[in-house]
Homo-oligomer: A and B are copies of this chain.
Amino acid sequence: MKEQFYQYICTLQDEITQKLETLEPTVRFREDLWERPEGGGGRTRVIEQGKVFEKGGVNISAVHGELPESMQAYFGVKDAQFYACGLSLVLHPKNPMAPTVHANWRYFELYDSTGQIADQWFGGGLDLTPYYLFEEDAKHFHQVCKETCDRHDPHFYSQYKKRCDEYFWNSHRNEARGLGGLFFDYLKKGEKTMDQWYSFVTDVGSNFLNAYFPILNKRKDLPYTDAQREWQEIRRGRYVEFNLVHDKGTLFGLKTNGRIESILMSLPPQVQWVYDHTPAQGSEEEKLIQVLQHPKDWMAAVE
């Protein structure tokens, strides 16, 4: 399973970066190969200062060895060997009308003292963070999420949509980071077989471009004002706050000696913090905040 999934994310990284580059006239992804001293490594691909992509990363990694101490308590095991691989991506378009997107698909194995697999699971998801609300974009994104889920189980979409809204909650701001999508973790043998989970997780991965690409393509060249750009930078501040204060993956990486630059490539390129910024009543900016404070069921939403 681990070879199979690792091959899958390698191919998916190629597919995603190649497709994204078709939208970008001025720059290309640069690649950094890195090794983890304790075992394994990764292939980080970053794009910066493009016409479409102000900053983005599409990274894969596969690491293994002794389970770090900080993870032992987290998983409730001691002195175990582990293997983990995954693809993580974050794209920050330059145009404030185009949403930021994040996605991640990962696989984890824990071994017993004889080297046999003691536990294994998949996790991941994808979520959309716009600066201006286009309801049709939200619906399209969730529609792709739902169709993908429905091919595997009729309960998945509502279940993983809800977990996404719960996970990406900026509790100190009392608002969601974005419009959600899917979030799942600890997909283990039981309800489904590992092969069925593999099929589900890779289906979600392979539909990422279907979910995001058309939205980006539609919004990347829309006109915008300096004030709209400023709003985007202020909202990006909330993105930073979520990632550094609440996101388990980021904190985990920072506290377990992960590759800092690959972890923090998720942070937006230009960000502002303005004291007590409040959008005008009835403005487009306020409409976004309303939806973030009250996450919607985009598949049931009636205009």
Q: Contact residues of A with B, CB < 8 Å? A: 32, 46, 48, 55, 57, 172-173, 233, 237, 240-241, 244-245, 251, 254-255, 260-261, 264-265, 267-276
Nearest residue (CB) in B for A254 is B172
Q: Which residues of B contact A274 (CB under 8 A)?
A: 48, 269
Q: Are A275 and B172 in contact (CB under 8 A)?
A: no
| Count of chain copies | 2
Q: Which residues of B contact A271 (CB under 8 A)?
A: 240, 270-273
With the chains together, A273 CA to B274 CA distance in Å?
17
With the chains together, A272 CA to B55 CA distance in Å?
11
Q: Are B260 and A172 in contact (CB under 8 A)?
A: yes
Nearest residue (CB) in B for A49 is B274
Q: Are B260 and A173 in contact (CB under 8 A)?
A: yes
Q: Are A265 and B275 in contact (CB under 8 A)?
A: yes
Q: Which residues of B contact A264 (CB under 8 A)?
A: 241, 273
Q: Are B272 and A270 in contact (CB under 8 A)?
A: yes
Query: What would 23 A/B residue contacts be, using CB atoms closer than 8 Å?
Result: A32-B276, A46-B276, A48-B274, A55-B273, A172-B254, A173-B260, A233-B270, A240-B240, A240-B244, A240-B271, A241-B244, A241-B264, A244-B245, A245-B245, A245-B254, A261-B275, A261-B276, A269-B274, A270-B270, A270-B271, A271-B271, A271-B272, A271-B273
